[in-house]
Amino acid sequence: MNGFPVMTMVQKMYNGGARYTLLAIFFFMLAGSIMQHGGISSRLVEFSKACLGHVRGGLSIVVLAVCMMFAALSGSSIATTAAIGGMLYPELVKANYPKGYSAALPVAGGTLGIVIPPSIVFVVYGAITGTSISQLLMSGVIPGLMGGIFMCIYAYFYARKHNIPSSNEFSWSRLVVATKNAFWALLMPIIILGGIYTGIFTPTESAAVAVIYGLFVAFFIHRELNLRKLKDIVVDSVKGTANILMIIMAASLFGYVLTIYQVPTLFTNAVSSFITGKYSFILFLNILLLFLGMIMDSGAIILILAPLVYNMAVGYGIDPVHLGCIIVFNLAVGQATPPFGNCLFAAIPATKQDIVTLSKNAFPFVVILFATVLLVSYVPIFAMLLPSLM
């Protein structure tokens, strides 16, 4: 970068990463790993089976339901797909579900990991654009649940069409036992989201509370975590956080360079030449994000696109929180699309299915999720209801 003082570049990158709110990324990653290795995910599976296993195609619905619940603990799509796929794929195959369809279920459900709070991607977007992270996190609740429910409905009719029976009979005693065992896991999202919604916690504080709560449950309630395993979890969380922080720091410098060269103005002028208003801009943005999600990593998309579209979207009267929800939900869909869908690759080790098989079977879910994105895009109340009540 000729003409840019080195110290200015360093300062811009440092300022981008030296933010208190970014501590939430590390704590959410750490909390998710603690939950995964502390016996909480397995208890969520048993609870979901007790609730939904008696429904036709119940095991497939269980996968999607557990993915939604695990997403509310981990904040990561990759972690959700890997954890739930590893646990439930063998059971799906054993229950005579087609292997390709069985492998696609955790891929589809895992995408919601970055939509349903706590979401690491929402934190990154908020840090880059300066949008309220608390409101961003709450904006993903209803859209994430909508996407999950729509996919569950598809799974039910898929099971009816292919004559797949329920996996077990409903039992009140089993439900009571499963609820008792999963009580501590079910309580965690209530504490996190309730604390953020009521203003008791900031997002960063809620992430720290999640870690403390997870450690307490894993060490003293379930007793399935030891210090050696905790050390590995912390190291992995530090590495993952470092990668994300480098993206954010690079985004700060990138945004500064774009401003110097007036790229946002040039982009706005170019897009305005064929965009006639707010709704056509939203359609353009969704199509652009869907395309980019097929060929680029979600971190790179936020890095490049968020600084460009932010001011233009605000100019069209789109709320920054609503914009963030649109972008993040589109990125979630991109994680189930080839060739760079992170959830597709996360499912390969657990399911032993190739990328072509996974992509083909995940396609109906991608269509459902993208239709949900369009619904959320054009009916802002779905994303803005909870943030507006804060």
DSSP for 117-140, written as a single string: SS-HHHHHHHHHHT--HHHHHHHT
* Exposure of 61 in the CB half-sphere (CA atoms within 13 A): 27
pTM for the structure as a whole? 0.82
Give the pLDDT of the chain (390 residues) as one tens digit per residue. Answer: 555 677 777 887 777 777 777 787 788 878 877 877 787 777 888 888 888 877 887 888 888 988 888 777 776 777 788 778 888 888 888 888 899 999 999 999 988 888 988 788 888 888 888 899 889 999 999 999 999 999 999 999 998 888 887 767 778 888 899 889 888 888 887 888 788 778 788 878 888 888 898 889 888 888 888 888 889 988 888 887 787 777 777 777 777 777 777 776 777 778 777 887 889 999 999 998 888 888 777 777 887 788 888 888 888 899 999 999 999 999 999 889 888 788 888 888 878 888 899 999 999 999 999 999 999 999 999 999 999 987
Tokens of 227: 């210090």
How does DSSP classify residue 171? -
For residue 364, whether the previous peptide bond is cis, meaning omega lies within 30 degrees of 0, is: no
For residue 153, what pLDDT is reported?
94
Cα gap 158→236, rounded to integer Å: 38
Cα gap 180→68, rounded to integer Å: 20
CA angle 145, 301, 371 (to 5 degrees): 35
Q: Is 18 helix (H, G, I), strand (E, B) or coil?
A: coil
Cα gap 309→314, rounded to integer Å: 9
